[in-house]
Structure 1
Amino acid sequence: MNDSNLAAAAIVSAARDAERRDVVRKSETTSLTPRQMAERSIIPYADGANRPLVDSFRTLRTQLLAISNENFITLVVPVTKGSGASFVARNLALSMTFDPTKTALLVDCDFRHPSQHSSLKVDASRGGLANYLENQHSEVEEMLYGTGIPRLTLIPAGRSAYGDLASEQFSSFRMRLLMDSLRSSFADRYIFLDGPPALGSPDARMLADLADVVILVAGYGRNTAADIAIAAGNFDPRKFAGVVFNENA
């Protein structure tokens, strides 16, 4: 067999291996019971009692999919701390996986108040996003965690050595390269960034530069119309998808 035939065989073998990995990735079964899902503040979608809430997230997902024909990055941010954006980001990412041809990656970008790993009861001992951004030798695979939900993966916030200045990494070349890599590596992967509050710091605006779509979450009866307007004004109107009012805040 000549060199060209060997190269062709290697390409075919690699393609088959990738296809097998893809099949395995998409055929995962959840190990979480409805009770375990509820404990993680994930809506038990198989429970008919939750159908209205599940359908509201499915509707939001459908509206997002109508924006683009390609996979995209969605930033979900609260108006203020406690508005419930992490709950919305988590369940919106979950709703994307209802379609067996799609996967979702949830990234906790709230370095000051990280919550996704504890809510999902994930042992994030390998570190997370902050560790990756600050350590040039770390690998992406080290910060990817299973959630017990098919096709839903988590990148926790991790721990930073820079304290309140950790978010400065959001504007780094390494962060931008990471987002491009995570999106391009799988055409069926939709990325959801759980961001910090829109009011009080520039962190959310920095993350918005990396996103294709921005969703603002207001706590129902918690955030005033004036606060919502000011928060919404922080984002590019071409990216701003709207406001979600969350009664779970």
Structure 2
Amino acid sequence: MEQIVNARRNTLTPQAGGEAGSRSITRTDPGLQPLSPRALEERKLIHRNDSVRSQADAFRGLRTKLLALGRDRDFITLVAPVQAGCGGSFVARNLAAAFAFDNSRTALLVDCDALHPTQHKALGVDVASGGMMDYLDGSITDLAAIQYQTGLPRLHLVPSGTPRETAGEYFSSSRMRMMIDSLRGTQSNRHLILDGPPTLDSPDARILSDLADLIVVVAGYGQVTVDSINDAASNFDPDKLAGIVFNNIY
């Protein structure tokens, strides 16, 4: 397999193998100010300053590779860790930020780890009104109510919402598919990043892969074996599998 990008403590290695609207419908706070570089670093988010330039460039490189694979369309990317602790949420969050760096694009990060959601805490977003799982079970009917600003321009979050022990039946439902289609069609040049649960711990990541155009598997460097990586990758359609990110190399 050919190495194509070195990311911040990450390496991506590829494997062979309705009309969009113009208006964003998101939960907005008119008083919300963009986060400072220091606040972004506290949230483990890349930014444009020199202090994290190498990390930011690495995620831009990852974005560029995905854009090439996706032929520059508004594709959906599933980020799926091999197992818990591999840093899948970190990679998903910063990949979404990298898409949001482009002034012509927006990014929507969807936290699909129903048992252990983390993105709302990492981003410091108050999600008292609920999230995706609450929308899928019908507790929330307004899709705009589960889309939150993050303090990073052009990056919004759909939090997981009320934790669930099992989520597969929700992810395979027609309501889930309609939700994803609606989120993608909100505006042109919008990229959805699905932060998936650990691949080897449940079938949920495989179920979510049916909704994605591209899949990135995240392996914790020195944490998982080659066999585990292969087992995780085998859960997905090889035509969708963009590659493997090795996280925490140093």
TM-score range for the pair, normalised by the shorter chain length: 0.7 to 0.9
Query: Is 2:111–2:159's contact at 8 Å kept on the other side of the alignment?
Result: yes
1:88 matched to 2:95? The reply is no
TM-score, with length taken from structure 1:
0.85
> 1:61 aligned to 2:55?
no
Q: TM-score, normalized by length of structure 2?
A: 0.85
Q: 1:137 to 1:217 in 2, by over 3 A?
A: closer
Cα distance in 2 between the residues matched to 1:21 and 1:218 = 34
Amino acid at match of 2:59: F
1:126 aligns with 2:121: no
Are the aligned partners of 1:84 and 1:248 in contact in 2 as well (CA < 8 Å)?
Answer: no
Q: Secondary structure at the match of 1:66?
A: helix
| 8 Å contact from structure 2 (residues 22, 188) kept in 1 | no
Kept in 1, the 8 Å contact 2:24–2:186? The answer is: no
Single out whichever of 184-193 and 131-140 deviates more from structure 2: 131-140
What residue in structure 2 maps to residue 179 of structure 1? 180
Q: Is the 8 Å Cα contact of residues 29 and 149 (structure 1) preserved in structure 2?
A: no
The answer to whether the Cα contact below 8 Å between 2:114 and 2:166 also exists between their aligned partners in 1 is no
Q: Report the structure, 1 or 2, having the larger helix content.
A: 1
What secondary structure, in the 3-state scheme, does the structure 1 residue paired with 2:202 have? coil
Which stretch shifts more, 210-219 or 32-41? 32-41
Deviation at 1:210, TM superposition (A): 0.3
Deviations 1:100-148 (A, max 9, x none): 0000000000001100000001000110000000016511001010000
Counterpart AA for 1:92: L
> Alpha-carbon deviation of 1:168?
1.7
Percent identity, aligned pairs only, is 50
Greater relative CO (CA pairs within 8 A, separation 6+): 2
Paired with 1:124 and 1:215, the residues of 2 have a C-alpha distance of 27
Whole-Å Cα distance in 2 between the matches of residues 141 and 248 of structure 1?
A: 38
Residue of structure 2 equivalent to 1:246: 247
Paired residues, what number? 225
Shift in CA distance, 87/94, structure 1 to aligned 2, threshold 3 Å: same
Q: Which structure 2 residues correspond to residues 220-239 of structure 1 after superposition, within 5 A?
A: 220-239=221-240
Q: 1:132-167: per-residue Cα shift (whole Å, max 9, x none)?
A: 00016511001010000000000000005xx31233
Runs of 4+, deviation exceeding 4 Å: 18-22
Distance change in 2, residues 1:231/1:209 (3 Å): same
Structure 1: segments with no counterpart, 5+ residues: 1-17
AA partner of residue 217 (structure 1) = V
Supply the AA of the counterpart residue of 2:141. S
Query: Deviations for 1:30-72, whole angstroms, at most 9, x for unmatched residues?
Result: 52111111111112x2221321111110011001111223101
How many angstroms does 1:206 deviate by? Answer: 0.3
SS of 1:165 mapped into structure 2: coil
- C-alpha distance in structure 2 between counterparts of 1:182 and 1:127, whole Å: 16
Whole-angstrom CA distance in 1 between matches of 2:205 and 2:42: 28
Q: Is the radius of gyration larger for structure 1 or structure 2?
A: 1
- Cα offset, 1:185, TM superposition: 2.1
